Structure 1
Amino acid sequence: MHRSLTSSTLAELRRPRPYPAVTVVLPTHRREPDNAQDPVRLRNLLAEAKERLRADPAVTAERAADVSGRLDKALEEVDLVHAEDGLVVLAAPGEHQVWSLARSVPARVVLADTFLTRNLVAARAAERPYWVLAVSADRVTLWSGTPERVTEHQADGFPLTRDLEDPDAQRKERIGDLPSTFQDEQTRTFLREADQALTAVLRAEPRALFVAGEAAALSLLDDVGSAADGATPIRHGGLAQGPANAVHEAVRPALAQRAEAEQAAALKELDGAQGRKQYAAGLDEVWQNAMTDRVGLLAVEDSYRATVRDHGGHLVPAESGDLDARDDIVDEIVERALDGGAEVRFLTEGALADRGRIAAVLRY
């Protein structure tokens, strides 16, 4: 359930499906006693989805059976023992997926000709995914990271490995011609190949990059290529072999520094926009501008959630369960802003207290 939610994955999830594409969304809990009822709630939502499939006149019995079977297979893959804050189950004819989110979501069942992706989109934006390249003389690994964890990226040529044994080492040592590990041509060639592989990954999936390794390894990587230009160096050897928790711990201080700097920059941009009258604050005002693609930068407190309904073209507070209530309006705004080309930054709780907890820099 803890796969990397990439841009290409989201694009694939958002394409039209043969009806019905079923989305089941459930808030989950990490600890007892709150998590005790998660399995029951999940089974109830899946049962509701199956009942709606059977009752829908637009769904044939054969297709209802197919998608119901996919929901059953998805249930087998759910790991609530290691649950985070939200769960999304997707099922359509011939396919199913399960996604665990480090972001709370409202419970719902949706049948449509596309999957409901706004919660996935917002969760990915909030995670601010990054890459960690771990470099050594004989192994280069790439790790996909979120604030919660890193997982090894085993694709696109990674990991790169080689044998350090030099068959002519004894002769070279006798005549004093055995170069140090990070000076020989074989190592230069090896790291040049790593640089080329990294270039391709960053072109397909641009993210913040951290590069970890001994100082000599980082220096040589800079010398032989340019993919890591602008990356944050982590001078910590021994990480190319992992494990994942060691890589995550090594990068954690740099992640905290990056988040602090980005928050300060976002607040500065909001102040400047307010002075230029290119500014919106509060849920309704930001929503109005997001719907017309005027948002250039969206800033929202990470923990901010709101339930509203549309009343005469404006958002007004509502209770969950009210007719026409929209429980995930913040995620809806995030998705729409991203679709309109905006940059989205999630800030710490209280950072936007005087701005209605959500604010935007407008394009005009």
Structure 2
Amino acid sequence: MASSLISNTNKVYFSSVLGMENEGMVAMFEALISYDLNGFLGCSSTIYEAALIEFFRNASIRDDQVVSTVQGKPVEISEELSARTFELTMEGLTDMHEVPKDLVFDARSELSFNGEQLSTSCKKREMKIEFRLLSDILAKSVTVKAGSLDAITHERFSMMSAINGGVQINWGRLLFNIFKDMVTPGSRQAKGYALQICTLLKNVPDLELGDSKEFPPLKILTAKTVSRYIAVNNNIAVEDVDDEPRVKKTPVKKELSKKRSTATADKPYVKRKRTLVGKATVVAKDSALVTVAQEVVPLQIVAPIFDVPPAPTRKASKRKLRTKPGSDDESIEKEQSVGTIVVMPKIIKKRISLAF
């Protein structure tokens, strides 16, 4: 964990960088000294790895103080103790959104590499070389923001504008608020201030910090490391800023497809037939032999071959009338009975012929 706390941290060796011949760099470091940040950015380079890990593991906020335990001993760090240790100013702005807008507007051209107006959320390579290094110092050692160092946030640009314009900043409270966010559970603030915390722990009486190691020399800003930084970033500036102006690219619609050439663009497009291979070809051949009726043929009603006679109806029984002997009705009854005897054989004969 200790290695991650110092991976993006820088220490400034002010007595070395102030002797450089680069006027822009010297002016930038002098501005940091004018804000009394030399004690905070150039503090002792001794790292106590075990004590640092234990401090962050047990740290919390209580009564607006950062409290923790190291080697079983309680540690309390207040805003006044931090400001007094690093000799930080306690007056001025604490919110970078309160920086005057006209000052930010002027900084958009003063910080620019080619003199053009910058956006407050721009790329680091678009600024002058000394402000690129200032952006790295603020991102790594002051705000301790996780993410890409190439992108300049609006907050960081406002802070650089305030430093360039000489606006008074309450560095004691601003840095302590960031420190409290580091130990707050659930906070998105990255952990840092490794050198500063070790310096505060050394001032705690009767606290054994264990073994120590020196801060990596390549992370200390001296005249040599800053000169190397200038040489590397100047080449990036010439290639990426001058040759690539900030022009918003609009997508161009392609009129023709890549697969069709201009010679065949005017011809109508003909959809290719799919060729079948294997089992699909056998199924296609068999299905080709089946003919499909083109017109619907209506159903015809066919008459039956034999005429089936209707079912015989049941005849009502005749009432037999009794007449007196010698009356006229008796003669009529005899005639009806004789007629019945004559007709019946004809009906039976007709039914026999129909059956065959």
TM bucket normalised to smaller? under 0.3
Q: Relative contact order: is structure 1 or structure 2 higher (C-alpha 8 Å, sep ≥ 6)? A: 2
Question: What is the TM-score with the length of structure 1 in the denominator?
Answer: 0.21
More helix by share: 2
Larger C-alpha radius of gyration, 1 or 2? Answer: 2
